[in-house]
Amino acid sequence: MTQAIDIFLQEIADIFAFTRKDALEMIVAFHEEMENGLKGKRSSLKMLPSFTRRPKGNEKGNVLAIDLGGTNMRVLAVRLLGNGKVETIGVKRFSLEKDIVSKTEDVFFDFIADCVSVFLKEHDLDFSCEVGFTFSFPVVQTSISSGILVSWTKGFTVEGVEGHDVVGLLSKAFKRKGLESLKLVALVNDTVGTLVTKSYANPLCDLGVILGTGTNAAYPERIDRIKKYKGPWDSDEMIINIEWGGFDRIKRTIYDEKLDRDSENPGNQRMEKMVSGRYLGEIARLIIKEAFNKGFFGAKAIKDYFSKPYSLTTEKLSLLASDGDTINASGTESISYEDIWAIKEIGRTVSKRAARIAATAIASVVTHMDRNLASEHIIAVDGSLFEKYRGFREHMEIMLEEIFQDSKDKIQLSLTHDGSGIGAAIIAASLSFR
């Protein structure tokens, strides 16, 4: 039996392998998709203009930010000191329960407005300040303060928002809740916020990446290369929200295909479903289920523990990576050391591929900006996968080294905490400061 599971694990490792050759092929395909997206041609990368550029670092003021896009929502008040430094006046986290993210538009936006109200009262803050709104979904912006949601991702299904201006919907909720004096001046993707936050302090930063519940990145593009944008613009660069979760030119396994078919948004966000925190646990669960059905695992507890879709969260998978006993603690029957080892091995295989694909996506964007790596690039990265998943960052670094070899040191991954919300505040402040 031990031998059979070893063969199964090896087969899984083989089909999930993402080699240097795969990476180099992906970079070529990624460049093509980026170019097509910038020209407004058919592409799996939306390449969305953000109507903002990197800050100068001298922006000043007190601003409010709402940061929404994963399992939590945060409201924060910050003070920009004008020397690349930001002081947080207050921050509060609200959990976004399933019954909020699957309701109708009015219930959802009223909830956000209520959270803002609670925050302002608790911190005794002015109700007439400017607000930056980080909304981390694919939004086609029509200006810095308006944008239409293309489609929900990460399991959100709130009705009545797709195809509508999210700032308009939030403004209406503000009105219903007596918050009409708040001025929603900036609509920002979390990747744009992360890039802006890091580059407020360090001008060498030119890529913002999220590796959390979802995954995506934003970078400053030369305005003459954004062929699809014809409007006026007062700078030679504009930040582009790539929406790289949609990239679809990577080979998939039968497990990826099954996950996609059974998801809320089949056919969409293919790369995100291979890389991000919302999905890694589920891919591993599908493999574990298959192994159980093949008779490789002894304890029935494994079947019970892993039977429900999304019951194995990436957080649990990450815990397992460091401590196998989490299963036995909640199982009904004790699970053998060998079975736990095999489950951990499956988790390692799935997360290793994710990290290697994420690193290759970073390499793709960097070489789009700077083909021969003539300059240094600081990559601002936020998200629980990068920060907390054991071995994830290391696997990314190894992939970058395989791709760039001696030039690898030109690329520095830098953890940037809470950049998504702070970035929206910096952008909101920069609008009144210009």
Among 37, 49, 61, 69, binds ligand BGC (CB under 6 A): 69
Active site annotation includes 278 = no
CB of 346 to ligand BGC, least distance (A): 24
Among 425, 38, 399, residue whose Cα is nearest residue 243 = 38
Distance between CA 155 and CA 139 in Å, rounded?
16
Is residue 153 a contact point for ligand BGC (CB under 6 A)? yes
Among 50, 141, 216, 367, binds ligand BGC (CB under 6 A): 216
Amino acid at 364: S
Closer by beta carbon to ligand BGC, 120 or else 187: 187
Among 187, 63, 172, residue whose Cα is nearest residue 125 = 63
Region binding ligand BGC by CB under 6 A among candidate stretches 6-14, 183-191, 313-321, 400-408: 183-191
Among 33, 130, 165, 190, binds ligand BGC (CB under 6 A): 190
Near ligand BGC in 268-287, by CB under 6 A: 272
Region binding ligand BGC by CB under 6 A among candidate stretches 96-104, 134-142, 320-328, 359-367: 134-142
Distance between CA 215 and CA 211 in Å, rounded?
5
Q: Within its chain, how far is the Cα of 259 from the centroid? A: 18
With b for 16 or more beta-carbon neighbours within 10 A and e for fewer, the 29-44 pattern comes to ebeebbbbbbeeeebb
Region binding ligand BGC by CB under 6 A among candidate stretches 11-19, 212-220, 257-265, 423-431: 212-220
Closer by beta carbon to ligand BGC, 171 or else 191: 191
Is residue 138 a contact point for ligand BGC (CB under 6 A)? yes
Amino acid at 57: G
Among 40, 125, 29, residue whose Cα is nearest residue 77 = 125
Is residue 208 a contact point for ligand BGC (CB under 6 A)? no
Active site annotation includes 136 = yes
Region binding ligand BGC by CB under 6 A among candidate stretches 179-187, 188-196, 295-303, 312-320: 188-196
Among 322, 312, 251, residue whose Cα is nearest residue 284 = 312
Contact in structure between 188 and 55 (CB atoms under 8 Å): no
Is residue 219 a contact point for ligand BGC (CB under 6 A)? no
Contact in structure between 294 and 266 (CB atoms under 8 Å): no
Closer by beta carbon to ligand BGC, 218 or else 286: 218
Count how many residues are written for the chain. 434
CB of 138 to ligand BGC, least distance (A): 5
Region binding ligand BGC by CB under 6 A among candidate stretches 60-68, 173-181, 206-214, 335-343: 206-214
Per DSSP, helices labelled H in 52-161 are 98-101, 105-122
Closer by beta carbon to ligand BGC, 215 or else 318: 215
Closer by beta carbon to ligand BGC, 276 or else 367: 276
Closer by beta carbon to ligand BGC, 186 or else 299: 186
Is residue 59 a contact point for ligand BGC (CB under 6 A)? no
Distance between CA 298 and CA 310 in Å, rounded?
22
SS3 of residue 148 by DSSP: strand
Among 131, 196, 201, 91, residue whose Cα is nearest residue 428 = 131
Is residue 136 a contact point for ligand BGC (CB under 6 A)? yes
Which residue has the closest beta carbon to ligand BGC? 214
Distance between CA 225 and CA 295 in Å, rounded?
55
Residues 6+ apart with CB under 8 A from 189: 48, 50, 134, 135, 136, 139, 216, 218, 241
Active site annotation includes 190 = yes
The residue from 43, 50, 67, 74 that is catalytic is 74
The residue ranges that bind ligand BGC (CB under 6 A) are: 69, 136-138, 153-154, 189-191, 210, 212, 214-216, 243, 245, 272
User: Which residues carry out catalysis?
Assistant: 74, 136, 190
